[in-house]
Amino acid sequence: MKKALHRRAFSLVEVTLALGVAAICLIPLFGLLPIGINTARQAIGQSIAIDILSATTSDLRATPNTSTTSPQFSINFGATNTLYFDETGNVTTTADRQVYRLTLTFPTNSAGAYAATFANLKLTWPAAVDPATTTPAGSVETFAAFDRH
């Protein structure tokens, strides 16, 4: 009598079921991938925006009391200024490279002759969107006070 040889292998049904289970598990992961990419893009944009605000505030703080224009970004104290930055955070005047829009305003301080100089800095992106008329994709705002006396 001959003994039947039994090979150990997966049947076609088992392989099909395994692929089906794997596909059902991978579909939600592929659905979450665009959300993760957008979140990472937003985080990068916010990091660059914070760096721009930090550099601008440092420039304003480094301005001598006798000067009305900042040394690095040529910001005029007391006037509304609008600066544009590229995707790496560098100032640019080229329209097709503008990613961030920084609007600086200097609210009045009626506390006297030795009062602090106030500055409101609002950074929005994309730069082509006017934040006065349309909600931008992202924005960061800060308020600073400077002793200019």
> What local confidence, expressed as pLDDT, does residue 10 receive?
80
> What value does the mean pLDDT take over residues 35-51?
93
Q: Is the pLDDT of residue 141 over 60?
A: yes
Residues 6+ apart with CB under 8 A from 140: 46, 49, 50, 53, 122, 123
The domain total for the chain is 1
> What local confidence, expressed as pLDDT, does residue 3 receive?
67
Quick check: is 4 in a domain?
no
Quick check: is 107 in a domain?
yes
User: What domain range is 142 assigned to?
Assistant: 12-146
Q: Is the pLDDT of residue 54 over 70?
A: yes
Quick check: is 2 in a domain?
no
Quick check: is 5 in a domain?
no
Quick check: is 7 in a domain?
no
Quick check: is 1 in a domain?
no
Backbone angles phi and psi of 126, in degrees to 5: -70, 155
Sign of the Cα pseudo-torsion (112, 113, 114, 116, in order)? positive
> What local confidence, expressed as pLDDT, does residue 5 receive?
66
> What value does the mean pLDDT take over residues 28-44?
92
Query: What pLDDT band is residue 4 in, cutting at 50, 70 and 90?
Result: low
Radius of gyration of the chain (CA): 28
Residue among 81, 76, 67, 72 nearest 148 (CA): 67
Which of the two residues, 112 and 5, has the higher pLDDT score? 112
Quick check: is 136 in a domain?
yes
Quick check: is 118 in a domain?
yes
Q: Measure Cα distances from 28 to 24, 34, 36, 121, 129 in Å.
A: 8, 11, 12, 41, 34
> What value does the mean pLDDT take over residues 1-9?
68
Residue position matching structure tokens 């609007």: 103
